[in-house]
Amino acid sequence: MTEMLHYEFMRIALVMAVLIGLTAPAVGTFIVQRNLSLLGDGVGHVALTGIGLGLLTGTSPVLGALVVSVLGAVAIEVLRARSRSGADVALALLFYGGLAGGVLLTNAEGGGTSLQSYLFGSISSVAIGDLYVVAGLAVVVLGIVVLFGRELFLLCQDEEVARASGLPVRFLSVLIAATAAVTVVIAMRAIGLLLVSALMIVPVAAAQQVTRGFRGTMLLAMGVGVLSAVSGLAGSFQYDLPPGPSIVLLALALFTVAVAGGTVVRRRRARATASGNDEPPAAVRPGVEAEAEVLEG
Amino acid sequence: MTNPSPPFAMKGARVRRDGREVLAGVGLRVETGDVLAVLGPNGAGKSTLVKALLGLIPLAAGRTEIYGVPPARFRDWKRVGYVPQRLPMGGGVPATVREIVSSGRVARQSRWRPGTAADRAAVDRALAATGLTALAREPAHLLSGGQQQRVLIARALAGEPDVFVMDEPTAGVDAGNQVALAETLRELTGAGRTVVLVAHELGPLEPLITRTVELEHGRPVRERALRGRPLAAAPEATMEKSA
């Protein structure tokens, strides 16, 4: 196993894996709670156009991806906030446009093979310069999570309460979408744009099976993220597998374990609270929704 | 009238939704110390009214002010504690009772500083006042309806606001827990806080209420003063001509 540390590209790749494993689930916790699990996927598609633009204009594909995916995420958020029924279709249009535009632009540039590496990840081709960019972006993402965490928590809990607390709801919504876009760019070299959002969502889905709180979920998800990114990468080196799919499948395996563990935890908890609780949870009480019809047209 | 900028002052408020008029010209003035219950049948516009008071729903016509300032320009949100109808599940990421209650401090906190001892003390007091201290570390979405309602009240309480706006605090709460809730409210109102609450029926809350406004089809149809208080600002809370 230590053999892989002899290679510089693997040392770089492992550091990158740790950074991705930390950042993607941290942002993902907010994304999941906000019911935006597919946002990362959409941004991934849009980012392809940015890569195409970067390749075509001879500038950095990462920079192209960063600019276009942040713009795409902001567009998605604006669409989501503005329209109620049309947002779904509008998002789909954006996704297809991003993917088609990316393929077309990279094709025009003649870089069909490099497209492949962005779609499915190619961590062996990363250079030290890429690592600096990823590390810088990871600091920005984690900084945003720390600085705006309290506000984002309330926003993701209940947007109306956030507004009635005077929070800048529109700004925070765009901020979380843009942060997700930056995270996509961080993770795309290792995991590939088609699987990139898996590492935002799957570790969170795994963690929330066994945790009680939001902070606990985020920290455990970051642990799951680092574990699956690092061991997936190591495994892919050892057995000559593509790293992106290895990382994602490992995360899914951890999710399966967490589901099993969560079932046990919940059963035990239910038994413990059965004595203290005289009411069933609100979710199963029919009367609770009584007055909601006026508000949710 | 007595006070130049009461907690809430609404005039001729209209709200339309999908072509239907949900609020059809409501005037309402809430004075400091009022414990106002907004009553009425399902679909009368009660929840819409309290959300419009907070600026959460835009008005198609008319105007509303919070402490003399329109909601869009209002900045002093720490004076207002909003208790929504339910605890939304969102994407299912759990949150402990304490995490949710702590988020009620957000209007008083600086982005650049971690929580202070005063924040933690206020959260402790809010948990104690709502009888949630023992449940502080529990995931809120697994609690009963009555307990979740108390979590929402505790969150507003933690922010130490001057005025509470509560959307159906008794919905889905059984009789026993309604009494407990009334007890919590009694302490709030005893401290001179202003409360606007939406209710289907008053039940155990009745002794606390100083005024009621009844809505029907988006219009106030009746106003009563309770506990022998005179009808305050009677002409304000009356029907206004519909367009």
List A residues 210-229 in contact with B (Cβ-Cβ < 8 A). 211-217
Which superfamily does CATH assign the domain made up of B32-55+76-212 to? P-loop containing nucleotide triphosphate hydrolases (3.40.50.300)
- Say whether A273 and B109 touch across the interface (CB within 8 A): no
Identify the helix (H) or strand (E) that includes residue A169: helix A169-191
- The Cα-based distances of B61 to A83, B17, B26, B64 in angstroms read 22, 13, 10, 10
Domain ranges for chain B, please list them.
32-55+76-212
Is residue A92 within 8 angstroms of chain B, CB to CB? no
**Residue A282 — very low, low, confident or very high, per pLDDT cuts 50/70/90?**
very low
- pLDDT tens digit string along A192-213? 888 888 999 999 999 999 999 9
Q: Choosing among A151, A211, A288, which should be mutated to test the B contact, i.e. which has the most B CBs within 10 A?
A: A288
The fraction of chain B above a pLDDT of 90, given in percent, is: 60
| Per-residue pLDDT at A271 exceeds 60 | yes
What's the gap in Å between the CA of A255 and the closest CA on chain B?
14
Give the residue ranges of DSSP H helices in chain B. 46-53, 97-102, 117-129, 145-158, 175-190
Is residue B198 within 8 angstroms of chain A, CB to CB? yes
| Per-residue pLDDT at A62 exceeds 50 | yes
What's the gap in Å between the CA of A126 and the closest CA on chain B?
34
Q: Is residue A249 part of a domain?
A: no
| Per-residue pLDDT at A285 exceeds 80 | no
Split into its structural domains, chain A has a count of 1
What is residue A85's predicted lDDT score, i.e. its pLDDT?
A: 60
> A-chain residues within 8 Å CB-CB of B147?
277, 279
Structure tokens at B12: 């001729």
- pLDDT tens digit string along B202-223? 888 888 899 999 999 999 898 9
**Residue B178 — very low, low, confident or very high, per pLDDT cuts 50/70/90?**
confident
- Say whether A165 and B106 touch across the interface (CB within 8 A): yes
- Say whether A164 and B54 touch across the interface (CB within 8 A): yes
Is residue B191 within 8 angstroms of chain A, CB to CB? no
Q: Is residue A129 part of a domain?
A: yes
- The Cα-based distances of B5 to B1, B29, B30, B107 in angstroms read 8, 10, 10, 21
Q: Is residue A57 part of a domain?
A: yes
- Say whether B91 and A32 touch across the interface (CB within 8 A): yes
Instruction: Report the complex ipTM.
Output: 0.89
Q: B242 pairs with which residues across the strands?
A: none
- pLDDT tens digit string along B31-65? 999 999 999 988 889 999 999 999 999 999 999 99
Closest CB from B77, B148, B165 relative to A166: B77
Closest CB from A156, A166, A294 relative to B75: A166
CA B38 to CA B205: how far, in whole Å?
12
Give the pTM.
0.87
Is residue B142 within 8 angstroms of chain A, CB to CB? yes
Which range among A48-57, A119-128, B128-137, B191-200 shows the weakest confidence by mean pLDDT?
A119-128
Q: B8 pairs with which residues across the strands?
A: B30, B66
Q: Is residue A171 part of a domain?
A: yes
Q: Choosing among A214, A215, A217, which should be mutated to test the B contact, i.e. which has the most B CBs within 10 A?
A: A214
> B-chain residues within 8 Å CB-CB of A213?
94-96, 98-99, 137, 139
Is residue A58 within 8 angstroms of chain B, CB to CB? no
Is residue B77 within 8 angstroms of chain A, CB to CB? yes
The fraction of chain A above a pLDDT of 90, given in percent, is: 46
Q: Choosing among B47, B93, B108, B132, which should be mutated to test the A contact, i.e. which has the most A CBs within 10 A?
A: B93
Q: Is residue A186 part of a domain?
A: yes
List A residues 192-211 in contact with B (Cβ-Cβ < 8 A). 204, 208, 211
Nearest CA in chain B to A36: B91
CATH number of the domain to which A71 belongs: 1.10.3470.10
CA A48 to CA B154: how far, in whole Å?
46
Closest CB from B98, B106, B148 relative to A151: B106
| Range of the structural domain that residue A158 is part of | 2-197
| Per-residue pLDDT at A287 exceeds 70 | no
- pLDDT tens digit string along A86-124? 667 777 888 889 989 988 888 887 766 677 788 888 777
**Residue B235 — very low, low, confident or very high, per pLDDT cuts 50/70/90?**
very low
Residues B182, B195, B66: CA angle, nearest 5 degrees: 165
Work out the angle between the directed axes of helices B175-190 and B145-158 (0-180°, nearest 10): 10
| Per-residue pLDDT at B116 exceeds 60 | yes
* Cβ burial A167-182 (10 Å sphere, 16+ → b, else e): bebeebbbbbbbbbbb
- Say whether B145 and A282 touch across the interface (CB within 8 A): yes
Nearest CA in chain A to B111: A147
What is residue B184's predicted lDDT score, i.e. its pLDDT?
A: 80
CA B83 to CA B109: how far, in whole Å?
19
